Chain A
Amino acid sequence: DAGVIQSPRHEVTEMGQEVTLRCKPISGHNSLFWYRQTMMRGLELLIYFNNNVPIDDSGMPEDRFSAKMPNASFSTLKIQPSEPRDSAVYFCASSLGAGGPEETQYFGPGTRLLVL
């Protein structure tokens, strides 16, 4: 199994530009999570999908952030317009079932985003 795949691995952009991060979950997994990691705030859950439907987006920081999951094998996290404070490592994770408290989450390698 290839594991969770994220692209790009690194992204450098200028403030105001649109950024799109991509994620392919493990085949057969029904839940997908987007996290952001910074030194100041640690690992934060941004949004969670189950069966391609957004279940909880309360962690999305503001309207500049949006996430979609058009099918079971692909999700995007978009930032428009990007700001320097969005610089972070963005992780995608997937789990087998409904994402309940008993499930293991498998993390992708992350995308390091730097907004200048």
Chain B
Amino acid sequence: QQPVQSPQAVILREGEDAVINCSSSKALYSVHWYRQKHGEAPVFLMILLKGGEQKGHEKISASFNEKKQQSSLYLTASQLSYSGTYFCGTPMNTGNQFYFGTGTSLTVIP
């Protein structure tokens, strides 16, 4: 039931772009994106509530394809501060059971 993310890990040079995908075998009612730095708690990035919705903050944006049951996170012109593990998260029904994805480790190097 856990959403599957791809890739599992990615290494970028500063300024390069990356895409992280999140796929679910079940219907998605919303998609949350979090970033976790090593040894720290997950930090909220954004929520997408409706199919077709796209959101962005500075150079990080996301899209939500409800029909395909997937979401993608786009990081453009990556910075060193973007390094961390990115998780998508979703309630698996309209109730409260919440599942985080398998995680994607992103490392940005100079």
Interface residues of A (CB under 8 A from B): 33, 35, 42-45, 48, 50, 55-56, 58-59, 91, 98-110
Q: Are B47 and A102 in contact, with the CB atoms below 8 A? A: yes
Give the chain B neighbours of A91 by CB distance below 8 A.
41-42
A55 with B47: in contact, given A91-B41, A91-B42, A101-B29 (CB under 8 Å)?
A: no
Shortest distance in angstroms between B62's beta carbon and chain A's nearest beta carbon? 14
- Nearest B residue to A31 by beta-carbon distance? B96
Contact yes or no, B98 A33, CB < 8 A: yes
- B18-26, B66-74, B99-107: which lies at the interface: B99-107
Contact A102 B30 (CB under 8 A): yes
Q: How far is the CA of A102 from the CA of B48 in the complex (A)?
A: 8
Q: Across the interface, do B97 and A56 meet the contact criterion of CB distance under 8 Å?
A: yes
Residue among B40, B41, B43, B87 facing the most chain A CB atoms (10 A cut-off): B41
Residues in chain B within 8 A of chain A (CB atoms): 2, 29-30, 32, 40-44, 47, 49, 87, 89-91, 94-103
A45 contacts B99, CB within 8 Å?
Answer: yes
Let me know if B102 and A42 touch, CB within 8 A. yes
Contact B42 A55 (CB under 8 A): no
| Closest CB in chain A relative to B73 CB, distance in Å | 16
Instruction: Decide if A48 touches B96 in the complex (CB within 8 Å).
Output: yes
Given contacts A35-B100, A45-B99, A48-B96, 5 further A-B contacts (CB under 8 A): A42-B102, A42-B103, A44-B100, A56-B95, A109-B40
Task: Decide if A104 touches B32 in the complex (CB within 8 Å).
Answer: yes
Which B residues touch A105, using CB under 8 A? 32, 44, 98
Residue of B at shortest CB range from A112?
B39
Per the bound structure, the CA–CA distance linking A58 and B43 in Å amounts to: 24
Measured in the bound complex, the distance between the Cα atoms of B103 and A59 in whole Å is 19
Asked if residues B96 and A56 are in contact (CB atoms below 8 Å), the reply is yes
Residues of A within 8 A of B90 (CB): 101
**Residue in chain A with minimal CB distance to B97:** A56
Report chain B residues within 8 Å CB of A104. Answer: 32, 44, 47
* Distance of A101 Cα from B98 Cα, bound (Å): 8
Judging by beta carbons under 8 Å apart, are A55 and B41 in contact? no
* A43-B87, A102-B30 given; A55·B96 CB < 8 A: yes
